[in-house]
Structure 1
Amino acid sequence: MSSKNFVILGTEVPKGGSAFLDLEVVKLHTRTPLKVPVIVERSKKDGPVVLLLAGVHGDEVNGVAIVRKLIKKKHNIPKTGTIICIPVFNIFGYLIQTREFPDGRDLNRMFPGNLNGSLAGQFAYLFRTEIAPLVDYVIDFHTGGAELDNIPQIRGVLSEPKTLELAKVFGAPYVINSDYIAKSLRETLHKLGKTVLLFEGGKSKNIDTEVIKHGVNGTLNVLKYLGMLPGKPTEKKQRIITKSKWIRAKYSGLVTIKVKNGSWVKKKDVLGIIQDPFGEFEKKIYAPYDCAVFGINNAPIINKGNALFHVSVEQ
């Protein structure tokens, strides 16, 4: 909760005040400093501290667009509490549109970080020590990697009452149970006692207006529910998935997708077709049972074992 003295990155933000700060990690080999903008808006009234975070992976631009729109519409100015926005977390990857840090590491597998470790590890450490302790709630915006296209969804550990509660409030079409991954940002925040929602929508290097709309509206629902913005959350129809699996390619080849992302399919429905480039074989991919499809790999060429369809396992 906001306290009388709210100090972030060495700057005190008074009640009713705002700050545009920089998280400076390192200088490039050209000696150019690289800084991560941190935007803070604090109400005159005490309340929760919420972090809106995007761009953990530098090529996942839908999340950046979501946070940017929230700022542009001034939805990041709360009537109670404090909202911290970091539109581009992995500024290194964002500059050249890659998922990784310059040292080749995935930032989302480098937490809780190490002050004397790799570049990504040092960055993770600074976030964990300088920003993470100040917040109560985090919404972390992601997309599918490479050609993986995710239907708008909230992921979290649904056995945690607060996480499930806020996931439902967010109102994304799908709510997916997702365990904590070792050394991830979400796991580290959980160990610090924070409530985290992970939003997934669309794919990397792609702007999807429908995904952005879901991300913005869902965030507004959460902020309203927490009493930080006026109004009440809008109820949405959702499918809650407690268990899921990947349908993987049994063959290598060219792929034709035959199912729409976000659809419900019946057992033996054709999800896609794998073909060779020489016209010698054609293999259909069937739904193993009745299930929801909420993630599709749109890569035109795949290898045996590649993940193709993320589906629910009905219980």
Structure 2
Amino acid sequence: MLKNVVAVVYDGVGSFGLGVVSEVFGYDRSAAGLPSYDFAVVAEQPGTVRTDTGLLVVVEHGLERMATADLVCVLGWERADIRPSEALLEALRETVARGGRIMSHCSGAFVVAAAGLLDGRTVATHWMHAAELARLYPAVTVDADVLYVDDDPIFSSAGTAAGIDACLYLLRLEHGATVANAVARRMVVSPHRDGGQAQFITASVPEIDDRSLLRETLTWALGHLDTDLTVDELARRALMSPRSFARHFRTATGSTPHAWLLAQRVTLAQQLLEGTDLAVDEVARRSGLGAATTLRHHFALRVGTSPQAYRRTFRGRQPGVDGELATA
């Protein structure tokens, strides 16, 4: 049973992640009939720790407090090129060896990986750090598309708010959906989000020489995504043969014309879902994907969720209804 929770901090630690685990595990909700935890913040040396945003945290406990923890939360690590201390790494290894769990948040995965606890496992981290984590630790499978990974006894979450998703997931495992949903309501967040990090990665078009016919052709294509564009037509506009166009296209963009068009159409569909009330069928037509079934298929593959779920998540809110008003 999850009762004793520890958050490990160090200079440059992610302040948002610390806030998340403190809110979920450090706030006493027993008066509402919800579980409470013996929660502590620890550091290698007790004292003052400066977070990544400059906040100063007064830490009362050293790493020895980890010895009784059921769950150790490893928060954002500032520098991937700096190896954590052996004392911290050994404390993490001992946590797993005696049956405890570890949950990393964002770049905290680098710390857990440095301890050797992720070898042969799958881990989530912020999509911005995924390639570097995979490069430094080739024995680790890095999933850049998901919000969190359960590879018990190691849990990991992607960047920033994904830590909330991982914490609520752990509450569901420990106490059931009713408790997790109640805590989510108290925090005014969704108890479960559809999809993964792909929803939050904005597609970009590689830079191309402003004077090139290829750039002019791609700019034109972006304005005609709702039409039946073919490689032959694009090649004609660029004054190239289809074969030469495909070769120049890959050199300039790193992609094929077909893959690029598909990515731009999905991006346009995302924009239409966010900013209009158009039915999914009409969104599919205007984005050049044809039918709603085709849109759903490519949306699931590229965004990791359905068009309807994406719209619910990202549709702009009306100020004064449920939008932000002020900080408290």
TM over 0.5: no
TM norm structure 1: 0.34
- Structure richer in helix, relative to its length: 2
TM norm structure 2: 0.33
- Structure richer in strand, relative to its length: 1
Which fold has the larger relative contact order, with Cα–Cα distance below 8 Å and residues 6 or more apart in sequence? 1
